[in-house]
A and B are shown apart, each in its own frame.
Chain A
């Protein structure tokens, strides 16, 4: 591909060239990753087409199933069509206002009856799918109508359409809160963002049976794509920022601390403050911040010490202020944080710097943020880099976790012997079986880890839940604490027991890159062996599935004493007799409090 289609979305290009873009993307050689079924209450053909384009751009190949036109209810509830034999990983239910018939209502009773009918219909669909498929569901909420019956009081009047839609939406949100693996595609937001007058579009309905303006389809599918990216843990983790004319107006090295534009004094300064506030919000969702600026370090730090700068030195896990190429600095940051470049976003006001980084590091997202500071937030927001489906307390602590790692690196310099260094860290760990208390963190670790990930498998919520509930499955997690701080829950493993053969197969094993080279994997495996022995297991089967990113664990099973049994182009299989396993010494002690 020699053109950009997102960062931000090139909607006109996508609408015009969709067929040739898709044809060229389909030439990529990719393994089938998962299956999506689309149940439509109106046309879905090009929703699917754009979704496929975005997924292929991200190297994800998908098999699709589309229901017959407007047969979403029949297929989900009565099993018509091939939905259930297709066995999708994700079902997307594309219902909109067009599928909710609201006749003129004369009484509160009639209104309640109608509302209950609508809710009952939805819940019947969801429960049938969840019972029979155990898969992830994405459901549209309902957008507002263009026309109101009661005018302004439509939202507060019992019989108002908007009031009814709000109640149905609340019901959808509550269902999402209570059911894991159920997510809302927020077309309420999308339709307000683009304007209801633009969203509702009779010509798109009459000519193509699309329930909203056909020219907004790329935005719609991109939103859906972002949800799917989040489900599979592919969202961005690091935001790298330039300083001059990005975090403040002016050039600190030339203008001096008193003349850079930040704070409440004039409209331009206020705009930069607003941008910093936005960045602070993004950080709050668990994204870590770094700086990459062509500046002297002293000037960079002086700028951040400006009394009106909302972002301070401590907000950044890495600050690169020098005169090297920005791409080289970003590579350094990625090494320090031990994170893949494809989880990085780089923001710079200078198009030349953006182009340099984009050319050298095509994996990084470098949005075209425009020339006006007032556009930055809007454009970055439209790129959906940081969408998050679940969120745990741990996410807010992430900046601290990485800063502590930098302190640990300083400590390492003091020691000549690595084992002495490990000893000095005073590490303590706890290993336990999967529990509901740590559900979100377990799920997100499995879906975010690319490097220490033996089988590269991703687990949907329902799969994590099945490890907890199924007696033939074992899932263990490990936490690690040391003298610099709590690293939190940093490793997970799950597998299944075959009682007849007395074997245990490790289906998934991940560890966060935060704790590489601490021997945590050996400590963890010692504990795995202890647990497995309780089930009278004679042999453990380990599988390594090579990927672009998990080379670091290619000899993991050899190190643990496994013997290679079988290998093909996709997997290598290893076997270990439990009685042959020799415990490996580490500098980690047991702690039941962390």
Chain B
């Protein structure tokens, strides 16, 4: 599974959203089921899957799915 696929799976699992089309350009807050708690959950799951420690300041910068993917690519 590629990083992109894994991130998409995490987003779908946590938001329980299995229908909406999610691309790298999707604004995260526009995804149905993505609220502040889901945000926290997704960060946790990404940290666990990619063995990362994401700083609090970084989290606010994740606006698009692509931002997450870029961060993961840079830090793994």
Contacts and interface: CB of A to CB of B under 8 A. Distances in A.
Interface of A: 12, 15-17, 19-20, 23, 45-46, 202-204, 206-208, 214-215
A19 B59 CA distance: 23
B45 A207 contact: no
B37 A208 contact: yes
Contacts of B14: 16, 19
Contact of B37 (A12, A16, A17, A207): A207
A204 B59 CA distance: 13
Contact of B40 (A12, A16, A17, A204): A204
B1 interface: no
Contacts of A204: 40
B56 interface: yes
Nearest to B35: A208
B69 interface: no
Nearest to A202: B56
B36 interface: yes
Contacts, number: 37
A208 B40 contact: yes
Given A15-B41, A15-B44, A20-B16, 19 more contacts: A12-B48, A16-B10, A16-B14, A17-B13, A19-B13, A19-B15, A20-B13, A46-B37, A202-B56, A203-B40, A203-B59, A204-B40, A206-B56, A207-B37, A207-B39, A207-B40, A208-B37, A214-B40, A215-B48
A204 B44 CA distance: 10
**What are the 6 closest A-B residue pairs judged by CB atoms, nearest first?**
A19-B16, A207-B40, A16-B13, A208-B37, A208-B40, A215-B44
Nearest to B40: A207
Interface string B10-36: 100111100000000000000000001
Given A12-B48, A214-B40, A203 B56 contact: yes
A12 B51 CA distance: 13
B10 to A, nearest CB: 7
Contacts of B10: 16
A343 B14 CA distance: 34
6 contacts: A15-B44, A19-B16, A20-B13, A203-B56, A207-B40, A215-B44
A20 B16 CA distance: 7
A524 to B, nearest CB: 53
A79 B60 CA distance: 39
Contacts of A45: 37
**What range describes how many residues of B lie at the interface?**
10 to 19
Given A12-B48, A16-B45, A206-B56, A23 B16 contact: yes
A46 B35 CA distance: 14
A42 to B, nearest CB: 13
Contacts of B48: 12, 215
- Residue of B13, B45, B59 with most chain A CB atoms under a 10 A cut-off: B13
B44 A214 contact: yes
Nearest to B16: A19
A207 B37 CA distance: 7
Contacts of B36: 207-208
Nearest to A20: B16
A41 B40 CA distance: 20
A20 B15 CA distance: 10
A19 B41 CA distance: 12
A20 B56 CA distance: 28
Contacts of A214: 40-41, 44
Interface in B49-63: 56, 59
Contact of A15 (B16, B39, B45, B59): B45
B46 to A, nearest CB: 11
A45 B36 CA distance: 13
Nearest to A215: B44
Contacts of B40: 203-204, 207-208, 214
A155 B15 CA distance: 44
B15 to A, nearest CB: 8
Nearest to A214: B40
Nearest to B17: A19
A1 B65 CA distance: 31
Contacts of A16: 10, 13-14, 45
A131 B67 CA distance: 55
Contacts of B45: 15-16
A574 to B, nearest CB: 48
Nearest to B47: A215
A208 B59 CA distance: 14
- Residue of A19, A202, A214 with most chain B CB atoms under a 10 A cut-off: A19
Contacts of A12: 48
A12 B45 CA distance: 8
Contacts of A207: 36-37, 39-40, 59
A203 B60 CA distance: 12
A12 B41 CA distance: 11
Contacts of B13: 16-17, 19-20
A12 B36 CA distance: 19
Contacts of A203: 40, 56, 59
A206 B59 CA distance: 12
A12 B15 CA distance: 16
A46 B56 CA distance: 22
A45 to B, nearest CB: 7
A17 B41 CA distance: 11
A568 B63 CA distance: 58
B68 to A, nearest CB: 16
A215 B37 CA distance: 12
